Amino acid sequence: MIVADDQAVVRTGFVNLLSTQDDIDVVGEAEDGEQAVALALAHRPDVALLDIRMPELDGNQAARTILRETDGATKALMLTTFDLDQYVFDALAAGASGFLLKDATFPELLHAVRVVAAGDAMLSPASPAASSPSSPPAAPSPPPSPSSTASPPARWRSSF
């Protein structure tokens, strides 16, 4: 997977945490959307973890390009600090498979990455759009793999 966030400390933290897992291989990190696209095209990862607000090319624009150029082989998992419905809807419209707030716990992050890597969809349960009447009905997401360091909360649901 690749990790893209314009805040170096945040990006490095995600990379270091994700790299502790045997089933997750971080092949690159980017500080903006243009770098994320270049990394995704060079490495063809299963998942691109993308901050929504980045310079040069925002996360949604990067997701659109990555999904188009990889024929959907790389899935986009969007990250943001801001729990605004419009961010969720824009991310889903861009083709993202998941949306996660940056205040997620490590087990929640791991679960989201694994759900998206498996080809399923994921919305952060803390996001207002996750319970919005205009959202698609929620269905249970698959359980995390046994190598997870902790069980995800039961409140996690898939968006599709």
pLDDT, tens digit (0-9, with 9 covering 90-100), for 10-69: 999 999 999 999 999 999 999 999 999 999 999 999 999 999 999 899 999 999 999 999
Secondary structure class of 100 (helix, strand, coil) = strand
Q: What is the mean pLDDT of residues 120-141?
A: 54
Secondary structure class of 61 (helix, strand, coil) = helix
pLDDT, tens digit (0-9, with 9 covering 90-100), for 54-101: 989 999 999 999 999 999 999 999 998 877 778 788 888 899 999 999
Give the integer Cα–Cα distance in Å for 160 and 148: 23
Indicate if the pLDDT at residue 156 is higher than 70. no
Least Cα distance to 115 among 100, 131, 105 occurs for: 100
Q: How far is CA 79 from the centre of its chain?
A: 6
User: What's the CATH code of the domain at 142?
Assistant: 3.40.50.2300
- Domain coverage including residue 40: 2-158
- Enter the tokens of residue 134: 């205009």
Q: Structurally, how many domains does the chain consist of?
A: 1
Confidence of residue 126 (pLDDT cuts 50, 70, 90): low
Structural contact between residues 39 and 74, judged by C-beta atoms closer than 8 angstroms: no
